């Protein structure tokens, strides 16, 4: 065998050896590569989820900032009109007097609370004659002091389940009582489009069952 043949054979053997070695290394590296690829894909998925949440929170932040700006603008407008004072409370509250009712503030809203036992007999939705003086005064206040404010009439009951009344649930009873007050105020001249009724039943109890039975006329400040 001449020198050139020996070189060719040696070259082939060397190439074969390198190829075998390369295959072995490739197998080992391929396993590591697959692991790294899976980890990379997982991290990419986590990053995409984080970016999605980040975009959502930025969107929510923008909406809240816009809502705050709108509320601030509405408050300034009401201050300019004299409906609310610089503290955000309704003007004229301190001088108001409503016999048979309790007045309080909830944020910028004025709450005129009338006990359920003052307004209605047990389990009933017909307004007592003795309560009409109180409601007449409330209607007068709504028209003279807060003619531009929306009004929500909230009905509440105690936690005792309905047994003897014709009403199926406390929520039903509380709505009918709130609606009875709304209808009476309408009959006294308050614009129906300013008011709406809401039923809370026993959801917001007070310290006693008697205190829990009530109707709240909420004069909305904003």
Residue 94 CA, distance from chain mean position: 30
pLDDT score for 59: 81
The span from the first CA to the last CA of the chain, in angstroms, equals 106
pLDDT score for 81: 55
The Cβ of residue 141 has, within 10 Å, a number of other Cβ atoms equal to: 21
**Distance separating alpha carbons of residues 66 and 60, to the nearest angstrom:** 10
pLDDT score for 68: 75
Residue pair 157/115 in contact by the 8 Å Cβ criterion: no
Residues 6+ apart with CB under 8 A from 72: none
Residue 196 bridge partners (DSSP)? 152
List the domain boundaries for the chain: 1-81, 102-219
pLDDT tens for the chain, residues 1 to 222: 545 554 454 444 444 445 445 544 455 556 777 788 888 888 888 888 888 888 888 888 887 788 777 766 765 665 565 555 555 555 555 556 788 899 988 888 899 999 999 999 988 999 999 999 999 999 999 998 898 899 999 999 999 988 877 888 999 999 999 999 999 999 999 999 999 999 999 999 999 999 999 999 999 986
Q: Which fold has domain 102-219?
A: 60s Ribosomal Protein L30; Chain: A; (3.30.1330)
pLDDT score for 6: 46
pLDDT score for 50: 84
**Distance separating alpha carbons of residues 101 and 119, to the nearest angstrom:** 11
Residue pair 159/209 in contact by the 8 Å Cβ criterion: yes
Residue 123 CA, distance from chain mean position: 31
Nearest to 174 by CA among 136, 213, 140, 217: 213
Q: What H or E segment, with its residue span, contains residue 16?
A: helix 3-81
Q: What H or E segment, with its residue span, contains residue 85?
A: none
**Distance separating alpha carbons of residues 4 and 196, to the nearest angstrom:** 106
**Distance separating alpha carbons of residues 75 and 220, to the nearest angstrom:** 12
pLDDT score for 155: 97
Residue pair 155/199 in contact by the 8 Å Cβ criterion: yes
Residue pair 116/128 in contact by the 8 Å Cβ criterion: no
Cβ neighbourhood burial of 134 (10 Å; 0-12, 13-18, 19+)? buried
């Amino acid at each position: 065998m001449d020198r050139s043949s020996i070189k060719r054979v040696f070259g082939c053997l060397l190439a074969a050896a390198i190829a075998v070695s390369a295959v072995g290394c490739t197998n080992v590296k391929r396993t590591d590569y697959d692991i790294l690829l899976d980890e990379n894909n997982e991290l990419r998925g986590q990053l995409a989820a984080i970016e999605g949440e980040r975009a959502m929170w930025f969107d929510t932040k923008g909406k809240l900032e816009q809502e705050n700006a709108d509320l601030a603008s509405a408050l300034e407008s009401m201050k300019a009109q004299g409906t609310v004072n610089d503290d955000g409370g309704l003007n004229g509250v301190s001088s108001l007097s409503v016999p048979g009712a309790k007045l309080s503030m909830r944020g910028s809203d004025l709450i005129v609370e009338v006990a359920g036992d003052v307004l209605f007999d047990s389990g009933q939705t017909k307004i007592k004659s003795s309560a009409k003086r109180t409601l007449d005064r409330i209607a007068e206040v709504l028209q003279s002091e807060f003619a531009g404010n929306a009004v929500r009439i909230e009905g509440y009951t105690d936690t005792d389940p309905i047994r003897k009344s014709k009403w199926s649930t406390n929520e039903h009873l509380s709505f009918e009582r709130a609606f009875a007050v709304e209808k009476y105020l309408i009959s006294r001249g308050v614009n129906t489009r300013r008011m709406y009724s809401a039923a809370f039943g026993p959801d917001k109890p007070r310290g006693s069952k008697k205190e829990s039975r009530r109707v709240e006329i909420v004069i909305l400040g904003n």
